[in-house]
A and B are shown apart, each in its own frame.
Chain A
Amino acid sequence: MVAIRTNKPLGSVLHRQLALLVGAGMLFAGCKNHRFSHVLDESQRDMVGSHQAGAETFDVLVGESVAKLLDRQGAAGVDPLTGQPCQKRICFAGIENRSSEDIGDFKDQLFEQIDSAVSTSGVFQTISPRFVESGLRQLRIYPADLMVPSHRAAFQSAMEQQDQPFDYLLFARLTSGTTQHNASYQRDYVLTLELVDVVNGSHDKESAELRKGYHKSRIGKWTGYGLTR
């Protein structure tokens, strides 16, 4: 009764392998059910997402787009009653994900990052998103409806009732474009910030772009983009 035919003498090979296997198992006995984590400091680079965008993409997009917008809108507003310079009151109407990726928990973080960056700039004074959300829910409207004059007027009225008047509406939109090349593909991410003046309807738009290449192996990167870092 020989269960296994071997090309080598089975006894010596199997005994050795079993001994090695058991020995290694004993060595790694402490690995059971352990996960590891560590805290990153400022000097350490972000991890680069291998399948979709991550911190390495969104941090850049948010920083660049907000900086561009604030740079262009740097001039302080003027109080219509007193004529004194004042901060512009802005209502951030959310971020819309139109990219081909489910960005998961990043969406709320992007909202907070943009909201914080704008509110701490000294140029704008933002309205709490909780007021914005309750106003929209009260009127059963969505951010896109704010472009309709009647809805916008109703929303402005609702916000004023909550002592939260505003001069500008801010919309953010994340889009992506994908270029495929055999096993590799390149995806361009664009974050657009659109500022709409609710008084005269004029708008200003700024965007930031970041391109990422996705490859099956490092060779794919070299063939697509050359021997660069």
Chain B
Amino acid sequence: MDRLRADAVRAVRGWRLFESMRQTPGIKGDDTTLVSFPAPSHAAALGGVGRAGGGGVRAIIPATARWCVPKTSRTLPETMSGACRAHVSFVQKIRSPGPNHSDSCHADAGRLTPLRYRRKTICVFFFGFIALLTGCMTHRQQVEQAHESFWAGNFAAADTGLEQASRRPRRDLTVLQLDRAMVCLGQGDLGQATLLLDQAGEAMQCQPAMLDPGNVTTWMTDDTARPYQPEDHEQVLAGTLLTLLDLVQRSGDATARCHQLGETVEELLAGRERDPTDGNDESDERKPSEQEETVTKTPATAGEEPVAGSAIAATAEPSAADIVREELAIAPFLRAVVRGESPLQLDDRQRFIRQALEWRPGSRLLMQEWLAASQAHSLAPGTGSVYVVALVGRGPHKEEAVEPVSSQALLAADRILSAIGEHELPPTIAPVRIATVVASESRIDGVACSIKGQPAGMSETLADINRLAVARQEELLPEMIARAVVRRALKKSVIVVSQDEDKPRNDPVTLAWTAAGMLWEATERADLRGWSLLPGQIQILRIDLPAGVHQLELSPVLAGRLAGPPVACAVPVADGANAFVLAFFPDAGVAGQAYASR
């Protein structure tokens, strides 16, 4: 209302001004002309009548008054200096309508030259900003080139590129460490890969404080300003790879790695589910790890129930929550394998296999493990088990996407704004830019294993990282959009608040400020940081073999046919113990070689 009242006052004053100009000698007021105005009040101030559209107001005003429109030209026509002086006087009056202001107004009438200096300042800022952006592109290009080198099999170039990028990280050191770990895996440096994954895992666990400068500035810039926020699938995969690398290297930390992986998965599930002690649902109050106990199964019947469950799951579309749980079954599986190596830990083995089977019903591999765990004498004397772990395909990557604002996201954003103060969110539905996880297509289906030319089996997917990432994205999408909406609202509010309401819209400073605000919003970028060199799936094959050294051949398979050359690997198998083989098949060829446990 205040704004409308101010516009009305301006209009009245403008009309008076126009009337006074009509009476100015040398100005004829009978002609008319068509002029564009940024706002209706400006047109009305000069006695114009028009309509809105096209980013402003088109209005017909008396031709004599068109000189009152601020021009970009800094040279004022001498013949119309009276009218122009009157206009400038009018503007000055609106800015500071004081009774003794007329003299100074007239004195400032022809002084429009400061605009030149403002433009210079704006230009300096603009080119500085462009220079900054250019620097970001160089960093990103360097990283992307390293990624391309990795996928092409040039690990040395990839390592060099990532190592150089790590020297001057742009809040993406953790991501670079994760990528470098995969490069080290390809190069065969498993120790360095473990070290890098350890460092990255530690950084991922240390979430920054709420009032960390990065977290605060993210509301005024974009999500790239805050410290790296790891995705859930990245945390789970890092823990899984650390466990696998430890099993292959026999470092002795596998049990600890398993515990850490279990805790990561527990936290993930507890975070996305309801508080276990929430009283709304009395029937289910325990942690996810305990919920398996609510479905009491006897070892004899447990093997049948998941099959029935899988039949139901086949007919109904699984929810994102089901998919997440299904793809996390790798964690209890690894815990069962590691713990189950000792005969003193049979109960742990059975417990974790049962949990994995409940999360991923219908899995042949898990069923085989369950039978081995429930039948105490399944492994004949003089034999051991070989677990072939194949990292297959390429993992998900992030792309910038323009997402429509859903009502759910608006509600979440409104709650955030309400928490900040007594503000309301306008019901805007303008789309926002966010980073979306995109699954990569796998060029192979799995890995076939053969021993001395005889087929030994085909690997089975136990964790689909692409599927897990997309499902988690689906769950977190409203929250991500809400963040973007709140940020947009805050930016707009800062622009509006910082502008002088009494200034006309066509004032150069106002226009420059508005343009800067638009640039501020337009330069917002989605946070595309993420682990790029990760596998798409973790596939496992278990083979029971007599004690001794065996030559395994692993071949990538697509649609039932060999998709690439096989890779050979010698595996020492100990009596009654587990052996592990780890290989990464991003495409039809193996990255580096296959690694067997010592």
User: Which A residues fall within an 8 A CB radius of B?
Assistant: 1-8, 10-11, 13-15, 17-18, 21-22, 24-29, 31-35, 51-52, 93-94, 96-98, 100-102, 104-105, 107-108, 111, 129, 132-133, 136-138, 140-145, 180, 182-185, 214-216
- Bound CA span A9–B290, Å: 51
Given known A-B contacts A32-B214, A140-B379, A3 and B426 have beta carbons under 8 A apart = yes
In the complex, which residue of chain B has the Cβ closest to the Cβ of A97?
B347
Choose among B203, B227, B282, B347 the residue that contacts A180 (Cβ–Cβ < 8 A): B282
Chain A, residue nearest B577 (CB): A137
Q: Are A216 and B213 in contact (CB under 8 A)?
A: no
Per-residue CB contact flags for chain B residues 554-594 toward chain A (1 = under 8 Å, else 0) read: 00000000000000000000001100000000000000000
Smallest CB–CB gap between A212 and chain B, Å? Answer: 13
CB distance from B299 to the nearest CB of A (A): 12
Chain A residues in 8 Å Cβ range of B423: 4-7, 10, 13-14
A13 to B130, CA, bound (A): 33
Partner of B285, one of A17, A25, A102, A185: A185
Residue B343 CB within 8 A of the other chain: yes
Chain A residue with Cβ nearest B293: A100
B493 at interface by CB-CB < 8 Å: yes
B residues in contact with A182, CB < 8 Å: 279, 282
Contact of A32 among B227, B342, B344 (CB under 8 A): B227
Candidates B287, B348, B421; contact of A14 at CB < 8 Å: B421
Partner of B424, one of A6, A17, A214: A6
Task: Tell me which residues across on chain A come within 8 A of B431, comparing CB atoms.
Answer: none
Q: Which residues of B, 264-287, contact A by the 8 Å Cβ criterion?
A: 275-279, 282, 285-287
Q: Can you give 26 contacting A-B residue pairs, CB < 8 Å?
A: A3-B488, A3-B496, A7-B424, A10-B496, A13-B421, A13-B422, A14-B494, A25-B215, A28-B210, A51-B287, A97-B348, A102-B262, A102-B290, A104-B262, A107-B348, A133-B342, A136-B343, A137-B342, A137-B343, A141-B343, A141-B376, A142-B343, A145-B376, A180-B285, A183-B279, A183-B285
Q: Shortest Cβ distance from B268 into chain A, in angstroms?
A: 15
Chain B positions within 8 Å of A97 at CB level: 347-348, 351
The contact string, 1 if C-beta is below 8 Å from chain A, for chain B 204-223, is: 00101111111111000000
B154 interface contact, C-beta 8 A:
no
| Structural contact, A94 and B345, CB atoms closer than 8 A | yes
Q: Is the CB of B282 within 8 A of A132?
A: no
A35 engages B206 (CB within 8 Å): yes
Please state if A132 and B376 are interface contacts (CB–CB under 8 Å). no
A142→B376 contact, CB < 8 A: yes
* Residues in B whose Cβ lies below 8 Å from that of A10: 423, 493, 496-497
Taking a contact as CB atoms under 8 Å apart, the answer to whether A96 and B206 are in contact is no
Question: With A28-B209, A51-B287 given, is the CB distance from A4 to B216 under 8 Å?
Answer: no
Q: Which of A14, A25, A180 contacts B497 (CB 8 A)?
A: A14
Q: Is the CB of B344 within 8 A of A143?
A: yes
Q: How far is the CB of B212 from chain A (nearest CB, A)?
A: 5
A136 to B379, CA, bound (A): 13
Q: Which of B277, B346, B497 contacts A183 (CB 8 A)?
A: B277
Partner of B212, one of A31, A98, A107: A31
A99 to chain B minimum Cβ distance, whole angstroms, is: 9
Q: Note all chain B residues with C-beta closer than 8 A to A15.
A: 497
Is B492 in contact with chain A by the CB < 8 A criterion? yes
Interface residue B102 (Cβ < 8 Å from any Cβ of A): no
A26 touches B262 (CB 8 A): no
Known contacts A93-B344, A94-B344, A17 near B421 by CB under 8 Å: yes
Docked pose: A21 CA to B219 CA in angstroms = 11
Establish whether residues A4 and B492, one from each chain, have CB atoms under 8 Å apart when the complex forms: yes
- Give the residue of B212, B289, B344, B488 whose beta carbon is less than 8 angstroms from that of A132: B344
Complex: A125 Cα to B492 Cα, angstroms:
77
- Whether the Cβ atoms of B211 and A27 lie closer than 8 Å is yes
Closest 5 CB pairs of A and B: A183-B279, A3-B492, A31-B209, A94-B344, A25-B216
Assess whether B279 is in contact with A129, with CB atoms less than 8 Å apart. no
The answer for the CA separation of A144 and B299 in the assembled complex, in Å, is 15
Contact flags (1/0) for B336-359 with A, using CB distance below 8 Å? 000000111111100100000000
**Per-residue 0/1 for B364-381: is the Cβ within 8 Å of any A Cβ (1 yes, 0 no)?**
000000000000110111
Least Cβ–Cβ distance between B447 and chain A, in angstroms: 29
- Rounded to whole angstroms, the CA-CA distance of A4 and B495 in the bound complex is 11
Tell whether, in the assembled complex, residue B343 and residue A29 are in contact, meaning their CB atoms are under 8 Å apart. Answer: no
B351 CB contact (under 8 Å) in A6, A52, A94, A102 = A102
Q: How far is the CA of A147 from the CA of B326 in the complex (A)?
A: 38
Interface contact A98-B347, CB-CB below 8 Å: yes
> Distance in Å from the Cβ of A177 to the closest Cβ of chain B?
12
State whether B343 touches A143 (Cβ < 8 A).
yes
Q: Which residues of A contact B421 (CB under 8 A)?
A: 6, 8, 13-14, 17
Instruction: Kindly list chain A residues whose C-beta atoms are within 8 Å of the C-beta of B325.
Output: none
Q: How long is the Cα–Cα vector from A206 to B55 in the complex, in angstroms?
A: 86
Q: B422 contacts A6, CB within 8 Å?
A: yes
Q: Given A34-B206, A133-B344, A140-B381, do A105 and B259 touch, yes or no (CB 8 Å)?
A: yes
- In the assembled complex, B425 has its CB within 8 A of some CB on chain A: yes
Q: Which residues does chain A contribute within 8 Å of B216, judged by CB atoms?
A: 21-22, 25
From B282, B290, B493, B496, contact of A101 by CB (8 A): B290
CB of B255 within 8 Å of the partner chain = yes
**B322 at the A/B interface (Cβ < 8 Å)?**
no
Q: Which A-chain residue is minimally distant from B422 (CB atoms)?
A: A7
A51's closest neighbor in chain B, by CB? B287
Q: List residues of chain B with CB within 8 A of the CB of A17.
A: 420-421
A174-B356 Cα distance, complex, nearest whole Å: 22
Contact of B493 among A4, A31, A145 (CB under 8 A): A4
B323 within 8 A of A: no
Q: Which of A25, A138, A143 has the most CB of B within 10 A?
A: A25
Q: Which residues of the partner chain A approach B379 to less than 8 Å between Cβ atoms?
A: 140
Q: Is B439 an interface residue (CB 8 A)?
A: no
Residues of A within 8 A of B289 (CB): 101-102
B474 beta carbon closer than 8 Å to chain A: no
Does the CB pair A140–B377 fall under 8 Å? yes
B263 within 8 A of A: yes
Q: Taking the complex as formed, is B432 at the interface, i.e. its CB lies under 8 A from any CB of chain A?
A: no
Known: A22-B216, A27-B211. 18 other contacts (CB 8 A): A14-B423, A17-B421, A18-B494, A21-B216, A25-B215, A32-B212, A35-B206, A94-B344, A100-B293, A101-B289, A102-B290, A107-B345, A136-B343, A138-B576, A140-B376, A141-B343, A141-B376, A141-B377
Q: Which residues of B contact A104 (CB under 8 A)?
A: 259, 262-263
Distance between Cα atoms of A10 and B420 in the complex (Å): 12
Q: Is B489 an interface residue (CB 8 A)?
A: yes
Complex CA distance for A64 and B486, rounded to whole angstroms? 57
Cβ contact within 8 Å between B344 and A129: yes
Nearest B-chain residue to A18, judged by Cβ: B494
